[in-house]
Structure formats: structure tokens, C-alpha cells
Amino acid sequence: MTKQIINSKKAVMVGCGFVGSASVFALMQSGLFTEIVLIDADKNKAEGEAMDISHGVPFASPMKIYAGDYDDAADAAIVIISAGAGQKPGETRLDLVNKNVAIFKSIIPEIAKRNFAGIMLVVANPVDILTQVAIKLSGLPENRVIGSGTVLDSARLRYRLGEHLSVDSRSVHAFIVGEHGDSEVVAWSSANVSGVPLSEICEMRGHYKHKKTRKK
């Protein structure tokens, strides 16, 4: 089997829903790629989103954005999987497992059989489980299949902390760890603002006071 050539400036998005389309728009603005391909079960949807986003190129870096198919994934540096059933009211992310595993079974093997040699990024829910599913279905090594994990959760935490403390959220360093879902937790002990522990900042600002006791 010949070694696949990777185009380091090419990205593929599989799934053109809200997350997929917003991500492609962000990639267009970033200028990281010169070629972005959109793939969706609804080809018309992919073509429409590609055209809309392409109209922003005059205000960004030169690039080609178009609707394609799985053959376009062969030489891509990264394939992002955002396809999947949406979370309905009352459903947990774990409730989506069966539906989205079935969808992945129709997507991942198609990418794998093109001798894909890049990185696969999973952003569909439940992301932790589907990332493991993608590893098994693709046959790719674990270091080339990545889940978005708790990146969004951590970003939301940093923003809210910055808002609460009236500081630039870019200076807030805090992380949510664990599964992207109801079981995730905040790593409060490592949270800080520009290196100053969050506990010290809260104490200085009087958000809470330590109660000291002494033996009589």
C-alpha cells in the first residue's frame, strides 16, 4: 500500500448542521486552511452552506470551500465529524448513543477505506463514547482520533469566571475534566487568574472567608 500524501492545508467537515457549519465558518476566518470540504447526507445542504460561507472569503484569506464526498477526505490533514442526531428536550447525551453509533457506522468506514492518513476529530455527542467508536471503526491509531472532550465546557467556565470576577476571561485558567456530560467535574484546585490561585483571589475580594478556630 502506497503512503498517502497529506495536504496540510485541507480540512473536511462531515455534517453540516449548526455545529458543523459554525465550525467551518470559524475555520474560514482563521485562515488555517486553503481548502475546506463539506460533506453531508443531504448534498443540497452541504452545497448551500458551502456557498454561504464562501461569500465571506473576500474578507478572509484566499481559500476554496465546496461540497464534496468521501473521496475528498483521502488527502485531508483533518476530518472533523460533527454528524449525528441532535439532543432533544429531556434527553441526556448518553441517550444519543445508539442513534449516533449507527450514523458513525455509515461514515467512518467510508473515510477509512480511502486510506485516510490525517487526524480525525470527533465533536458529535456523546463525544467520549463516539471517539472510542471512531477508533474501532476506522482502525486508526489512538493518537490520530481525537474527541473535543470538555473544551467547550472549560471555555464556558472560563468565561463565566471572568464575568464574575470582572477580568479578561483569556487570563482565566480553569478546566472541567471527565466525561463531557453530567458526570464532569471542575478542577477548582488548579483554577487561577494569570497564575494567582482562584482561592486567593476570592479570599482577597471577600467572596468567602475562612473560619479560624482555636483551642481554648
Query: Reading across the β-sheet that carries 192-193, which strands appear in turn?
Result: 172-173, 192-193, 196-197
Contact predicate 115/74, CB 8 Å: yes
Q: Which domain holds residue 173?
A: 151-204
Angle at 105 between CA 102 and CA 107, to 5 degrees: 115
Largest CA distance in the chain: 80
Residues 6+ apart with CB under 8 A from 215: none
Domain membership of residue 209 (yes or no) is no
Same domain flag for 101 and 165: no
- Catalytic residue check, 207: no
Q: Which three cell numbers stand for residue 198?
A: 482562584
Q: Which amino acid is at 17?
A: G
Domain membership of residue 213 (yes or no) is no
Q: How far apart are CA 38 and CA 46, in angstroms?
A: 6
Domain membership of residue 89 (yes or no) is yes
Domain membership of residue 18 (yes or no) is yes
Q: For residue 63, which of 20, 19, 32, 39 has the smallest C-alpha distance?
A: 32
Q: At what angle do helices 127-138 and 97-112 cross, to 10 degrees?
A: 30
Catalytic residue among 164, 180, 207, 210: 180
pLDDT tens sequence for the chain (216 residues): 556 789 999 999 999 999 999 999 999 999 999 999 999 999 999 999 999 999 999 999 999 999 999 999 999 999 999 998 877 787 776 778 889 999 999 999 999 999 999 999 999 989 999 999 999 999 999 999 999 999 999 999 999 999 999 999 999 999 999 988 788 999 999 999 999 999 899 888 776 554 444 454
Same domain flag for 115 and 18: yes
